[in-house]
Amino acid sequence: MSALAATATGDLWRAWSFDPLVLVGAAVAIAFFAQGWRRLRGRRPELAPWSRWPIFLAGVAIVVLGIVSPLDAVAEEYLQSAHMLQHVLIADLGVALALVAVRGPLSMFFLPQDLLAPLARRQWLRRSLSFLLRPRVAVPLWLGVLVAWHIPFLYDAALRHPLLHRVEHLSFVVVGALVWTLLIDPAGHGRLTLGQRIGLAVVMLWMGQLLAYVFVFSFHPYYDVYAEQPERLFGLSPLADQKLAGVVMMAEQLLTLGVALVVLVVAARRTRAVPAAAPEPV
């Protein structure tokens, strides 16, 4: 029986889980950011502005709250739309904000020197990361994870088995980090050109919208966990809740990927507007 099953509906909004794994991970991420920001600011203050702090903390907070807050309790058994909101927050918005915060030289300082050096010497790790960050690997992996966890059998299984549910959340965060790393390119590796990053944002937005349409234009509930739940929060029927889940997915992707697309297009226009350097006289 899940923790939610023992929670009265009236107490649902106080159902905080305080998952130690999530909280420790968030604390480590903030500690890494703090030491990297401090080291870089000591050398080049202009490259480590204070404005990066609220962006990074917002990204971490969104991921943490998406997993430990009452949203998780509502998503687990009551509302598919809440579950969809949880997933898009931890896989898109939270990850994107964290990567935006560490973009530029700060990304090179994020890991402590004592940890970065031994990790950099591990060829298998470098090769694995390089492989996963290839666009033809990262994008299909992102799409595969996104689609697979929405297959009714796997979706219901994840809700009924806590360990599998953790794996689901972790997989969303990992694939989200991969594709958003390609889009934002925080370390400036240039795996994709600016034009290719625009194309990737368009493709991701298109794929996500297609999946959202499956829910928005559905004719019957897909998931037994929600269809069989007698308590209907906000009076939403299972089908109405499922359609709302599709709307949530569409809206979040228009927000995150839409903003990314606008930023990339503006950057591309500025790049084209810069006049080419005049050739030196012979």
Q: How many beta carbons lie within 10 A of that of residue 243, not counting itself?
A: 18
Task: Read off the pLDDT of each residue in 204-228 and give the average, rounded to a whole number.
Answer: 92
Could you give the 3-state DSSP secondary structure of residue 121?
coil
How is residue 10 written in tokens? 């009236």
Q: Which of 179, 200, 211, 170 is nearest to 264 (CA)?
A: 200
Task: Read off the pLDDT of each residue in 233-250 and give the average, rounded to a whole number.
Answer: 92
Could you tell me the CA-to-CA distances from 178 to 111, 137, 273 in Å, in that order? Answer: 18, 10, 30
pLDDT level of residue 277 (50, 70, 90 thresholds): very low
Please determine, for residue 104, whether its predicted confidence score (pLDDT) is greater than 50.
yes
Rounded Cα distance, 169 and 91, in Å? 8
Contact call for residues 268 and 194 (beta carbons, < 8 A): yes
Task: Read off the pLDDT of each residue in 27-48 and give the average, rounded to a whole number.
Answer: 94
Please determine, for residue 124, whether its predicted confidence score (pLDDT) is greater than 90.
no
pLDDT per position as a tens digit, 3-36? 444 444 557 777 788 888 889 999 999 999 999 9
How is residue 165 written in tokens? 């549910």
pLDDT per position as a tens digit, 154-176? 998 998 888 998 899 999 999 99
- How confident is the model at residue 214, as a pLDDT? 94
Domain ranges of the chain: 11-273
**Residue 195: its H or E element:** helix 194-216
